[in-house]
Amino acid sequence: MKRAAAALLALFALGSCSRSDGKTHLYLQRFFGECGAEYGGSTDIAKAEGECGIITTMIDRFNAENPDIRIDVNVVAWPGYPQLTAQVAARDPPDLVTMHEGVISDYALKGLLEPVDDYLRQAGISPNDFTEAGRAGVTIDGHAFGLPWDTHGGLFHVNTALFAKAGLMRGGKPVLPNSADEMIAQARQFEQRTGKAYLIQSNVGDPAYAARNLYTYMMARGAVLFPDARHIKLATPVGVEVATFFRNINAQHLGTLNMDTPAAIAAFINGEGGIYPTGTWMIGSFEQEATTPGRPLYRSYAVFPYPRLWGQHVEFVSGHSWVVPSRKRSPRQRAAIARFFKFMAAHNYDWARTGHIPAFRAVLDDPRFKALPHRDDIASLASIGRPLPSNVQRQNAIEGIVGEEAVAAFTGQKSIERALSEAERRVNDLLAQVD
Amino acid sequence: MATDLRRGRLTPLGWAGLSIGAAIMLAPLIWTLLLSLKNNAELVGHSEAALHGPYTLHNYAAILGNSLTLRWLLNSTIVALGTTAGVLILASLAGYAFARLEFPLRRTLFVLVLLGLAVPSQAIILPQHQLFAWLHLHNSYPGLILPGLIAPFSVFFMTTYMRGIPRELDEAAMLDGASRWTIFWKIIVPLTMPAQSTLAVFTFLGSWNDYWWPLISATRSDMYTLTVGLAAAQMNYAQTSGLGYLMAQAVFASIPIFIVYVIFQKQIVRAMAGTAVR
């Protein structure tokens, strides 16, 4: 009995071990998964693939190049915000955290994140080095609250073999529409000539898809989605017109219905439709299909930002960033954070190999970036990308509500006016509760 | 009823019905197993590729290749065993007190315990988290085990069971000079073994599968339990580009539970049938 108790106490003690190795320790918390089995200990960033592989290798490389600093990595279950909030509540937040730019306001406006202007200055990084989308994504009231790391948003992933069959290729490139009417006309032509859906859509369990479409084309029409930080405005003539456009696509059976994300991805990979509007993060998987002989997408894949259908060519985007939660830190830790920022900025190209758009202007012009498949076609996302206003909190939750109601409007489950009004009411109720 | 079943009085229709039911229950499990044995890339376009070979153990190798997986397994084992032991001890002592002892406010206290059944754990998660932060117990085994010891159902369960044991046994032992402790330890506890094993199985399963509290209390990866660790190890689009790995995780996490089930099958079935309290 005593032995068992002693063993139990010893095991308890395991949980509170600490190290003293003379190094400056930074506690980094990230998502993107765990792939230590494949990449653990590797420092060859060029050989790493995928978000997890590249980020794992980059951090190992930083540790190898900075022997006086040790980054202790904590990989959290996606997206990691419940854990971060719990850590903040327990007054034990990490030193560096991966954060979606749309979430920064939730923490920054409560004083839970440090402005990183000083770290950027120490690292020799100017906010002018960032792309427009990157800078807008991390800046609140003139202060940067994170190191922008990438920009991601929706893209039109195109099956060029089906586009050719539909007579929608010119000079080896797909012809994308320039107006809403042109898109409907193209979709009809595509459907008639191929017998397949023009748009593959993930309307089920993927509110981000519909929200992205609504935000993007309302922004293009010059709509002010958030007149102030506490209110959204969707039930407007512009909102109704955009929603009506997508309702028409579905009513005329020009897009797939009843598909969730995995089903839509499988449909696109198997050549069951012309365009799959989804994010930058799928480029790697689709490119792999496009370079595998025998697959339906073999040599038949192209990708572009959302086309301009009305007004300005702009697109709703978000991005990943590195933020620094507020807590007491030593000068050495602060210097180590600045060095980490410098390292990450210097390796922004490596991260751009994931398919995300780089957050630094210099990388957009880097020949290595331009040489990556399709990057020349999608690089404009960095300049046309528009995040939601950085002073609006609860952007993730808002996207869920807007997406849910937008799907109901697009698919005819609710009248367009009712769906948009309910989205407005629900979002405004949510924002009214924010401290 | 049980005797009838043993005598094989099921009609062919009954057998057919049971077989169909069993097949329906088994189908998702077999599907999960088959998916876990396939290369992720093959499943992205066609999940039906799981129905034919080639099969691979690559996904399982990736799980075991993570240096922390065995640590998470150890953490889950310590937490589940610690919680189970604690609940059995506390619930038995409390159950004995409520069932056998006379003390002031006994009924009131028992009602208070029962009221605990009506409070969902989510309702107290914030003050509980704050309390553990003040006590510096997050990212520790006590931090993961102690909340699991709040088990009003277990107290109610043991109280009910002990009330069913004839008081004459206690009285006979007292006449022989046995103390309260001796009666509890040497007479009552052995008689409650069926209830103890049922309670142990359910407490172990509940603790092993717990996700919410470990997610917010164990925020350092070396203190993750298996459920949290495996979730953290997933890529962001696991359901599309990492389906095989995701299913391998599900199978891997359920193996210990499967073993527990095989060992304690009798107790679990008895508990499910509600006969453990007889």
Domains along the sequence of chain B with CATH? 12-56 (no CATH), 66-272 (1.10.3720.10)
Weakest mean pLDDT among A10-14, A348-352, B85-89:
A10-14
Specify if A285 maps to a domain.
yes
Return the half-sphere exposure (C-beta side, CA atoms, 13 A cut-off) of residue A212: 22
Average pLDDT score, chain B: 86
The Cα–Cα gap between B110 and B95 comes to 10
The Cα–Cα gap between B198 and B164 comes to 16
Domain check: are A206 and A288 in the same one? yes
Q: Which of A380, A406, A423 is the last residue of a domain?
A: A380
Domain check: are A73 and A107 in the same one? yes
Domain check: are A375 and A399 in the same one? no
Domain check: are A186 and A329 in the same one? no
Task: Say if residue A353's pLDDT is above 80.
Answer: yes
**Contact at CB, B238 and A90, closer than 8 angstroms:** no
Rounded mean pLDDT of A322-334? 96
Return the half-sphere exposure (C-beta side, CA atoms, 13 A cut-off) of residue B232: 31
Domain check: are A71 and A190 in the same one? no
**Contact at CB, A82 and B133, closer than 8 angstroms:** no
Rounded mean pLDDT of A188-210? 94
The band of A345, judged by pLDDT with boundaries at 50, 70 and 90, is very high
Rounded mean pLDDT of B69-82? 92
DSSP A130: B
Q: What is the ipTM of this complex?
A: 0.72
**Contact at CB, A15 and B140, closer than 8 angstroms:** yes
R_g of chain A, CA atoms, integer Å: 23
pLDDT by residue (tens digit) across B28-42? 999 999 999 988 777
> What CATH code is carried by the domain that includes residue A398?
3.40.190.10
Provide the token pair at A266. 């499988």
Domain check: are A170 and A33 in the same one? no
The b-or-e profile of A242-268 (16+ CB within 10 A means b, else e) is bbebbbbbbeeebbbeebebbbbbbbb
Q: Are B152 and B114 in contact (CB under 8 A)?
A: yes
Give the H or E element holding residue A148. Answer: strand A147-148
Rounded mean pLDDT of A322-339? 96
Weakest mean pLDDT among A14-23, A35-44, A421-430:
A14-23
User: Which pLDDT score is estimated for A1?
Assistant: 46
The band of B20, judged by pLDDT with boundaries at 50, 70 and 90, is very high
Q: Which residue of B has its CA nearest to A261?
A: B240
Specify if A13 maps to a domain.
no
Give the H or E element holding residue B168. Answer: helix B167-175
Domain check: are A164 and A32 in the same one? no
- Which pTM was predicted? 0.81
**Local structure of B22: helix, strand or coil:** helix
Domain check: are A184 and A159 in the same one? yes
Q: Which residue of A has its CA nearest to B246?
A: A33
Omega within 30 of 0 (cis) for the link into A79: yes
Average pLDDT score, chain A: 91
User: Which pLDDT score is estimated for A348?
Assistant: 96
Task: Say if residue A9's pLDDT is above 70.
Answer: no
Specify if A45 maps to a domain.
yes
Specify if A14 maps to a domain.
no
Say if residue A62 is exposed, middle or buried (CB neighbours under 10 Å; 0-12, 13-18, 19+): buried
Specify if A366 maps to a domain.
yes
The Cα–Cα gap between A46 and A356 comes to 16
Task: Say if residue B158's pLDDT is above 90.
Answer: yes
Asked if A262 is an interface residue toward chain B (Cβ–Cβ < 8 A), one would say yes
Q: How far is A31 from chain B (nearest CA, A)?
A: 7
**Contact at CB, A270 and B221, closer than 8 angstroms:** no
The band of B3, judged by pLDDT with boundaries at 50, 70 and 90, is very low
Asked if A338 is an interface residue toward chain B (Cβ–Cβ < 8 A), one would say no
Owning domain of residue A77: 24-148+320-380
Rounded mean pLDDT of B217-242? 80
- Per-position DSSP letters for B40-75, written without gaps between them: HHHHHH-GGGGGSS----HHHHHHHHSTTHHHHHHH
Q: Are B39 and B244 in contact (CB under 8 A)?
A: yes
Specify if A5 maps to a domain.
no
Task: Say if residue A25's pLDDT is above 90.
Answer: yes
Domain check: are A158 and A242 in the same one? yes
| Number of domains within chain A | 2
Q: How far is B172 from chain A (nearest CA, A)?
A: 30
User: Which pLDDT score is estimated for B144?
Assistant: 95
Measuring CA to CA, how many Å separate A333 from each of A67, A69, A327? Answer: 14, 9, 11
Rounded mean pLDDT of A325-354? 96
Chosen for mutation from B69, B81, B136, B219 (greatest number of chain A CBs closer than 10 Å) is B219
Domain check: are A57 and A183 in the same one? no
Asked if A290 is an interface residue toward chain B (Cβ–Cβ < 8 A), one would say no
**Contact at CB, A270 and B46, closer than 8 angstroms:** yes
Task: Say if residue A350's pLDDT is above 80.
Answer: yes
Whole-number percent of chain B with pLDDT over 70? 91
Q: How far is A5 from chain B (nearest CA, A)?
A: 11
What are the chain B neighbours of A90 within 8 Å (beta carbons)?
Answer: 129, 132-133, 138, 219
Specify if A7 maps to a domain.
no
**Local structure of A324: helix, strand or coil:** coil
Whole-number percent of chain A with pLDDT over 90? 78
Domain check: are A95 and A164 in the same one? no
Task: Say if residue B4's pLDDT is above 70.
Answer: no
Task: Say if residue A32's pLDDT is above 50.
Answer: yes
Q: Which residue of A has its CA nearest to B46?
A: A266
- Give every CB contact of residue A215 below 8 A, 6+ residues apart in sequence: A225, A316, A388, A402
User: Which pLDDT score is estimated for A79?
Assistant: 86
Higher-pLDDT residue of A137 and B126 is: A137
pLDDT by residue (tens digit) across A206-252? 999 999 999 999 999 999 999 999 999 999 999 999 999 999 999 99
Specify if A209 maps to a domain.
yes
User: Which pLDDT score is estimated for B271?
Assistant: 65
Task: Say if residue A418's pLDDT is above 50.
Answer: yes
Task: Say if residue A105's pLDDT is above 50.
Answer: yes
Domain check: are A70 and A128 in the same one? yes
User: Which pLDDT score is estimated for B2?
Assistant: 47
A11, A31, A270 ranked by CB distance to B45: nearest: A270
